[in-house]
Amino acid sequence: MKAVVIKEPGNISLQNVEIPEPQPGFVRIKVKAAAICATDLEVLDGNIPANYPLTPGHEWSGVVDAVGSEKDTSWIGKRVIGSSDVVCLTCDACRSGNWRYCKDFEEIGFRRNGAYAEYAIMPAYGLCELPENVSFETGALCEPLGVALGTLEKAEAKFGQTCLIIGAGSIGLCMLAAAKAMGMKDIVVCATTKGRLDIAKKLGASHVIATKETDLMEAMKSIHPYGTDVVVDCTGIEECIQMSLKLARKGGTVALAGYGRGKIMNIRIDDIHINNLRVVGAGNNWNKHKTAVTLMKDGMVNLECCVSERITLEDYAKGLEMARKRPEGFVKAIFVNE
Ligand SMILES: [Zn+2]
Ligand SMILES: [Zn+2]
């Protein structure tokens, strides 16, 4: 089969490799769609711990093609999405549903081969059926949508609360879709340029702010005069995090959903201390695939407008370059296997 392989940081190519066989507890997916994520670029650049050689790809959908255990036979032929978390299922963390805290946690696409390939091996326990009315392309986006749902849950965001989302990349836009679906109000999305903000408007943002043209701090004074209930930083950029802490209302919440790339940052502790802010770390997905797929099925969330480019595995270099350069209005490039 064809698979995109990172041999070592900086060295990526399309290769012919053997079709993998599922071990007990796992299934083989005929991959139908796999979205390129910014973290895949970090793996390519060697900035995130990974096991090389590696096929990246943790945002995927497909059809179950083979199973490793007889008890999973009923999955064969089903359209699915699913968790990329490989865990023990028996430790205290797993039994409380906190797979990310499992002592044996490994994520497919980082420690194990992922979905930039014709076939991929995924854990049977993480599968969710993909309804016929959700396309494979948008189904693959249940993963970042799940990240957004998990972030808002960690932030204890509530119906009717105000929300400011800093950054309009795929996580920012999924955050908006999730905030909208759960009934938050006066949702503001800001980004440096306008391209992705048009998509934010389509997804139902109440206000969009292009920070190259409009001063965010100034604009927020009239939009949320007493500060914002829940501010979500989706950038991991120092200046944005500093602003988040100033824009949350007294007693409000700041959720950090952007990757900080290991950087040490200057923040004013008094912004948190004096205003009694809750600052929550909200990286990664939290087993929200099922909720994500239900929201799509019921039409509460439609991420069609986030699929910017459909590419084949042969065109991987083009897809990665787009993900890196993020041209105006670009959100996601997605590998599509016929
Ligand atoms: Zn991702
Ligand atoms: Zn465990």
pLDDT digits (tens, 9 = 90+) for 48-69: 899 999 999 999 999 999 999 9
Find the ligand nearest to 94 CA: 2
Q: Which of 79, 83, 82, 100 is nearest to 91 (CA)?
A: 100
Q: What is the mean pLDDT of residues 85-89?
A: 95
Distance of CA 135 from the midpoint of ligand 2 (Å)? 32
The pTM (predicted TM-score) of the whole model is 0.95
Per-residue model confidence (pLDDT) at position 208:
98
Q: Which of 302, 331, 303, 38 is nearest to 193 (CA)?
A: 331
Distance of CA 37 from the midpoint of ligand 1 (Å)? 5
Find the ligand nearest to 96 CA: 2
Distance of CA 44 from the midpoint of ligand 1 (Å)? 14
Indicate if the pLDDT at residue 283 is higher than 80. Answer: no
- % of the chain surpassing 70 pLDDT: 100
Max intra-chain CA distance, the chain: 61
Any idea what the Cα angle at residue 191 is, between residues 190 and 192, rounded to 5°?
135
Q: Which of 102, 236, 223 is nearest to 169 (CA)?
A: 236
In this structure, are residues 177 and 301 in contact, taking their beta carbons and an 8 Å threshold? yes
User: Residue 52: helix, strand or coil by DSSP?
Assistant: coil
Provide the residue type at 125 as one letter.
Answer: Y
- Cα 86 to the chain's mean position, in Å? 17
Distance of CA 172 from the midpoint of ligand 2 (Å)? 30
Distance of CA 143 from the midpoint of ligand 1 (Å)? 7
User: Residue 220: helix, strand or coil by DSSP?
Assistant: helix
Average pLDDT, the chain: 96
Q: What is the mean pLDDT of residues 310-322?
A: 96
Find the ligand nearest to 105 CA: 2
Distance of CA 91 from the midpoint of ligand 2 (Å)? 4
Instruction: Please give the structure tokens belonging to residue 6.
Output: 């990172």
In this structure, are residues 211 and 257 in contact, taking their beta carbons and an 8 Å threshold? no
Residue keyed to tokens 């389509």: 202
Distance of CA 242 from the midpoint of ligand 2 (Å)? 35
Distance of CA 95 from the midpoint of ligand 2 (Å)? 7
Peptide bond into 24 cis (omega under 30): no
Distance of CA 71 from the midpoint of ligand 2 (Å)? 21
Distance of CA 139 from the midpoint of ligand 2 (Å)? 27
Instruction: Return d(Cα 266, Cα 253) in angstroms, integer.
Output: 19
Neighbours of 124 (CB within 10 A): 19
Domains of the chain: 2-141+303-336 (3.90.180.10), 148-281 (3.40.50.720)
φ, ψ for residue 132 (rounded to 5)? -60, -30
Instruction: Return d(Cα 312, Cα 290) in angstroms, integer.
Output: 27
Q: What is the mean pLDDT of residues 208-223?
A: 97
In this structure, are residues 118 and 1 in contact, taking their beta carbons and an 8 Å threshold? yes
Instruction: Return d(Cα 62, Cα 170) in angstroms, integer.
Output: 21
The model's confidence at residue 15, banded by pLDDT at 50, 70 and 90, is very high
Distance of CA 123 from the midpoint of ligand 2 (Å)? 14
Distance of CA 139 from the midpoint of ligand 1 (Å)? 13
Distance of CA 100 from the midpoint of ligand 2 (Å)? 8
Find the ligand nearest to 86 CA: 2
